Amino acid sequence: MMKKKKWTNLFIYLFLGLIAISVLYPVYWIIIGSLNPGNSLFSTKLFPDRLTLEHFRYLFAETDYVIWYKNTLMIAFFNMVISTVLVVTAAYAFSRFRFPGRQQGLMAMLILQMFPGFMGMIAVYILLLQLGLLDNLWGMILVYAGGSIPFGAWLVKGYFDGLPKGLEEAAKLDGASHLQIFWKIMLPLSKPIMVFIAISNFIGPWMDFIFARLLLRSDENKTLAIGLYEMVTGRGNSEFTTFAAGAVLVAIPITLLFLLSQRFMEDGLRAGATKG
């Protein structure tokens, strides 16, 4: 019996090790490619003879990489702030208040989650064109924030439904208003799910390509996804190692955010999974 258990554990560890290698090997290859001299990834060795930071210097000195990074960071940050406010307030209203159209609103948000976002891109394009927000970073931020409401509101509503209502009732007896209850009681208790929603809404637009490609035209409004894509497309573009350097820098904010908020994200996702 013990021998069989050892073989089972060995098989599990080997399987997990293979999965880890399959996930980490592409990451290692991109990092080594960004440090490898030349422009081709095909010449990249598993252990290169010489490493260089020339591609990183070229990104900052010869391209608009800083502008792309600033634009993408602006979109991701403000989308995170605006969408988190909209999602949390909408979820609290649907969870704690009973008003005409509540069930219809919940059902509409549930149905909207079933359709992929690109189905409405033509309508979004025309709407932003009429509002004068085409080729505008704020136009993208507003669309991203609005699109995050259906899924986020359902998730946070499930979290709010699981919080005890006795705390709110006790606060009402002490004369607290709905705004005070929301601000001083519900928000501190909902910190895990709020962190999860905030980080998710930061990651969403960080490397989105299709929507940015549709709406942004001018060079000063390009995002990282568009800039890096154009770096390796076309007959004359072959800067694959520079692209790898840009990809490595792109991954840094996401990695740091995930490491810093991993515990809150897991707690929020687990707690919000039980929708009311």
Query: For residue 28, which of 40, 49, 52, 46 has the smallest C-alpha distance?
Result: 46
Q: What is the pLDDT of residues 212-249, one digit of tens each?
A: 888 888 888 999 999 888 888 865 566 788 888 898 99
- Find, among 152, 253, 144, 247, the residue nearest to 195 by Cα: 152
> What is the CATH superfamily name and number for domain 63-272?
MetI-like (1.10.3720.10)
pLDDT > 50? residue 273: no
Q: State the CB neighbour count (10 A cutoff) for residue 269.
A: 16
Residue 130 in tokens? 């009429």
| Res 234: pLDDT | 64
Closest CA to 55 of 231, 233, 235, 254: 231
Q: Which two tokens stand for residue 249?
A: 């820098």
Within 8 A by CB and 6+ apart from 166, the residues are none
How many other CB atoms sit within 10 Å of the CB of residue 270?
Answer: 13
Could you give the CA distance from residue 257 to residue 252 in angstroms, rounded to a whole number?
9
pLDDT of residue 162: 83
For the cut 90, the answer to whether the pLDDT of residue 69 exceeds it is yes
Question: What residue ranges do the domains of the chain occupy?
Answer: 63-272
pLDDT at 1: 61
Average pLDDT value over all residues in the chain: 84
pLDDT of 96 over the 70 cut: yes
Among left, alpha and beta (phi > 0; psi -120 to 50; other), residue 132 is: left
Among the listed residues 188, 98, 203, the one whose alpha carbon sits nearest the alpha carbon of residue 152: 203
Read off φ and ψ for residue 98, nearest 5 degrees.
Answer: -115, 115
Q: Which residue has the higher pLDDT, 38 or 193?
A: 193
Residue 26 confidence (pLDDT): 85
Greater pLDDT, 56 or 51: 56
Radius of gyration (C-alpha) of the chain in whole angstroms: 24
pLDDT at 59 over 70: yes
The answer to whether residues 125 and 215 touch, using CB atoms and an 8 Å cutoff, is yes
Residues 76 and 260: beta-carbon distance below 8 Å: no
Q: Mean pLDDT, to the nearest integer, of 196-203?
A: 89
Q: What is the pLDDT of residues 99-125, one digit of tens each?
A: 888 888 888 888 877 777 777 788 888
Q: How confident is residue 45, by pLDDT bands cut at 50, 70 and 90?
A: low
Asked whether the CA dihedral 154, 91, 89, 255 is positive or negative, the reply is negative
pTM: 0.83
pLDDT at 272: 45
- Length of the chain equals 276
| pLDDT per residue as tens digits for the range 3-44 | 777 878 888 999 999 999 998 888 888 888 888 887 766 656
Which pLDDT band, with edges at 50, 70 and 90, does 275 fall under? Answer: very low
Q: Are 212 and 4 in contact (CB under 8 A)?
A: no
Indicate if the pLDDT at residue 269 is higher than 80: no
Residue 212 · residue 223 · CB < 8 Å: yes
Q: Which residue matches tokens 């080729």?
A: 135
What percentage of the chain's residues is helix, strand, coil (to nearest 5)? 75, 0, 25
By percentage, how much of the chain surpasses pLDDT 90? Answer: 19
Question: How many whole angstroms separate alpha carbon 272 and alpha carbon 157?
Answer: 8
